[in-house]
């Protein structure tokens, strides 16, 4: 029996992937540095007239409606998955509410330039937290650079007591902000990788704004005189540009770049902040402070570069947009061709492709009532591979893509695939799925599928090669 006609959409060859994606990531990174570099002087303007709780709350009250509108327009859910209710509470408290009160409080007593240096320690703190939480490894060079950075930061703060710092509590508040935010970023990296940026931000930001503003009205009781042109303008900038654009782009980068690369933003934005502090505030900054600042930022950069160099020596399997590279696809296609006419399966990390064994035939023979399909129309991971898959999400190199092949039936995400990949409208694993179109003549191509929270299903987001949409043969239907 001949196969039916197959719709052939214009495929995107793996080698034809637009370079614009890398440029977009680079542009987003630069935007974050510029926006966050100008944030400090804006906060200084806001808290010069408004009390800190009120200023922090109104910033998010201004930003929240934009996030809500974006969720509606893009069809993205605002609710967290039920199993991540605790994560919602964590983001509310440890990303929005407590840290931003500390930030605004601290900037009442510290110059915007020095505030940016204190907060930029987030870059090192992220690496420190990644050791116990993501099971990342820290090198001797990173440890030494971390020690130098914090010792020099202490010297800079002490030296600045007679220059720009009016209260040690301001410095303590800013360093507390850095510690809490570094922890939050690592937890987002671990638990928020499968969530959309808007979902992570919208409701916690809105609720945080309400709580902070309410607390400000209750405890600070601001009068109308605090709403000056300067404070209102700064609050609008912080709400629309810093919060809406800055947060969204940074979270977007967190899900597409490794922790080390993203944290370089904390090394670079203090330079912008220092220039603005000098030009706008007229902050006195002597050569001793300049040298100390260079040492601190240099130590920060060493910690990032050292880990970046180690990562560069590893084979990269995913591009900046999280899609498999040509080399990764070649490994996957070779596996699919080797296993044909059975389905091949495996998963992809940033560092490697893992070709797994399809054990569904063994499981079907042991428990025939639980497994109706054989390896020609189904797949199952073995116990060791499932353990490796699950543990990867607790590390700094989690599985990003699960792949399997469809022998002779095209590259599509079947109802059977959905049945095992999605439970109660939530993905079983925070991954994309790659389906390979394999045949007796070789591999035709593949399609990449990403979970759409609005529809509760996986949808195609990229095509590689010339895979068929869906094919049926006489004895083999997926």
Q: Is 223 exposed, middle or buried (0-12, 13-18, 19+ CB in 10 A)?
A: exposed
User: Alpha-carbon torsion 251, 386, 460, 467, what sign?
Assistant: positive
Q: pLDDT digit string (tens) for 220-247?
A: 999 999 999 999 999 999 999 988 888 7
pLDDT at 14: 41
**CA distance readout (Å), 463 to 8, 16, 143, 287:** 11, 11, 43, 56
55-59, 85-89, 265-269: least confident range: 265-269
CA pair distance 409, 467, nearest whole angstrom: 10
pLDDT at 258: 61
Q: Which helix (H) or strand (E) holds 460?
A: strand 457-465
The residues pairing with 463 across neighbouring beta strands, listed in sequence order, are: 447
More confident residue, 459 or 156: 459
pLDDT at 4: 30
Output the pTM of the full model: 0.70
Q: Is the pLDDT of residue 3 over 50?
A: no
CA end-to-end span of the chain: 17
Q: pLDDT digit string (tens) for 378-419?
A: 999 999 999 999 888 877 788 999 999 999 999 999 988 998
Q: How many CA atoms lie within 13 A of 279 on its CB side?
A: 8
SS3 label, residue 353:
strand
pLDDT at 314: 52
For residues 149-161, average pLDDT: 78
Q: Are strands 432-439 and 426-427 parallel, antiparallel or unpaired?
A: unpaired
87-92 own/partner pairs: CB under 8 Å, 24+ apart: 87/187, 87/191, 87/192, 88/203, 88/204, 90/184, 90/187, 91/184, 91/188, 91/200, 91/204, 92/204, 92/207, 92/208
Specify whether the CB–CB gap between 236 and 111 falls below 8 A: no
Name the band, by pLDDT with cuts 50, 70 and 90, for residue 447: very high
For residues 457-473, average pLDDT: 83
CA pair distance 192, 263, nearest whole angstrom: 17
Specify whether the CB–CB gap between 459 and 433 falls below 8 A: no
Q: What is the dihedral of CA 97, 109, 186, 55, to 10 degrees?
A: 30
330-333 own/partner pairs: CB under 8 Å, 24+ apart: 331/355, 332/403, 332/434, 332/436, 332/446, 333/436, 333/443, 333/446
Q: Is the pLDDT of residue 295 over 70?
A: yes
Specify whether the CB–CB gap between 344 and 404 falls below 8 A: yes
Q: pLDDT digit string (tens) for 30-75?
A: 898 899 899 989 999 999 999 999 999 999 999 999 999 988 888 8
pLDDT at 304: 66
**CA distance readout (Å), 62 to 68, 92, 243, 280, 458:** 11, 17, 9, 25, 34
Nearest to 344 by CA among 437, 431, 420: 437
CA pair distance 190, 414, nearest whole angstrom: 29
For residues 92-108, average pLDDT: 95
Name the band, by pLDDT with cuts 50, 70 and 90, for residue 166: low
Domains of the chain: 20-313 (no CATH), 326-475 (3.40.140.10)
User: Alpha-carbon torsion 281, 285, 291, 293, what sign?
Assistant: negative
Max avg pLDDT among 17-21, 162-166, 292-296: 292-296
Residue whose entry in the numeric block shows the structure tokens 């949409």: 469
Nearest to 289 by CA among 165, 468, 180, 413: 165
Longest dimension (CA), the chain: 88
Q: Is the pLDDT of residue 278 over 90?
A: no
Specify whether the CB–CB gap between 344 and 405 falls below 8 A: yes
Name the band, by pLDDT with cuts 50, 70 and 90, for residue 190: confident
CA pair distance 59, 236, nearest whole angstrom: 7
Nearest to 81 by CA among 427, 318, 323: 427
pLDDT at 11: 36
Name the band, by pLDDT with cuts 50, 70 and 90, for residue 151: confident
Label residues 204-218 b or e (16+ Cβ within 10 Å = b): bbbbbbebbbebbee
pLDDT at 165: 59
Q: pLDDT digit string (tens) for 302-357?
A: 876 665 555 554 557 887 677 899 999 999 999 999 999 999 999 999 889 999 99
Max avg pLDDT among 12-16, 135-139, 457-461: 457-461
């Amino acid at each position: 029996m001949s196969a039916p006609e197959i719709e052939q959409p214009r495929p995107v060859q793996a080698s034809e992937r637009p370079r614009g994606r890398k440029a977009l990531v680079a542009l987003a990174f630069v935007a974050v540095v510029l926006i966050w570099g100008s944030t400090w002087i804006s906060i200084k303007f806001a808290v010069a007239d408004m009390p800190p709780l009120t200023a922090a709350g109104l910033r998010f009250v201004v930003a929240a409606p934009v996030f809500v509108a974006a969720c509606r327009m893009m069809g993205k859910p605002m609710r967290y998955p039920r199993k991540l209710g605790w994560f919602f509470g964590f983001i509310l408290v440890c990303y929005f509410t407590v840290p931003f009160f500390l930030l605004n409080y601290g900037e009442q007593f510290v110059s915007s330039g020095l505030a940016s240096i204190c907060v930029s320690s987030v870059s090192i703190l992220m690496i420190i937290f990644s050791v116990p939480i993501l099971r990342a490894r820290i090198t001797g060079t990173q440890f030494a650079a971390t020690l130098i950075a914090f010792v020099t930061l202490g010297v800079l703060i002490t030296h600045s007591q007679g220059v720009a710092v009016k209260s040690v509590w301001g410095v303590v508040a800013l360093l507390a902000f850095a510690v809490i935010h570094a922890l939050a970023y690592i937890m987002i990296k671990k638990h928020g990788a499968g969530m959309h940026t808007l979902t992570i931000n919208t409701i916690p930001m809105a609720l945080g704004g309400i709580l902070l503003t309410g607390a400000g009205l209750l405890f600070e009781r601001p009068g109308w005189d605090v709403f000056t042109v300067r404070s209102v303008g700064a609050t609008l900038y912080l709400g629309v540009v810093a919060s809406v654009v800055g947060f969204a782009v940074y979270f977007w980068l967190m899900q597409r770049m490794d922790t080390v690369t993203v944290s370089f933003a904390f090394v670079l934005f203090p330079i912008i902040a220092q220039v603005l502090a000098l030009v706008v505030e007229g902050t006195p900054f002597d050569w001793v402070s300049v040298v100390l600042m260079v040492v601190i930022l240099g130590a920060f950069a060493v910690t990032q570069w050292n880990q970046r160099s180690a990562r560069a020596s590893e084979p990269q399997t995913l591009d900046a947009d999280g899609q498999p590279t040509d080399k990764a696809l070649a490994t996957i296609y070779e596996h699919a061709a080797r296993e044909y006419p059975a389905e091949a399966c495996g998963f992809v990390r940033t560092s490697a492709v893992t070709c797994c064994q399809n054990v569904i035939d063994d499981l079907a023979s042991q428990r025939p009532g639980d497994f109706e399909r054989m390896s020609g129309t189904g797949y199952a991971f073995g116990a060791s591979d499932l353990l490796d898959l699950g543990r990867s999400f607790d590390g700094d190199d989690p599985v990003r893509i699960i792949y399997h092949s469809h022998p002779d039936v095209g590259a599509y995400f079947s109802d059977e695939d959905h049945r095992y990949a999605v439970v109660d409208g939530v993905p079983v694993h925070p991954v994309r799925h790659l389906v390979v179109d394999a045949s007796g003549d070789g591999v035709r191509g593949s399609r990449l599928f990403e979970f759409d929270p609005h529809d509760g299903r996986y949808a195609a987001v990229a095509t590689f090669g010339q895979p068929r949409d869906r094919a049926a043969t006489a004895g083999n239907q997926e």
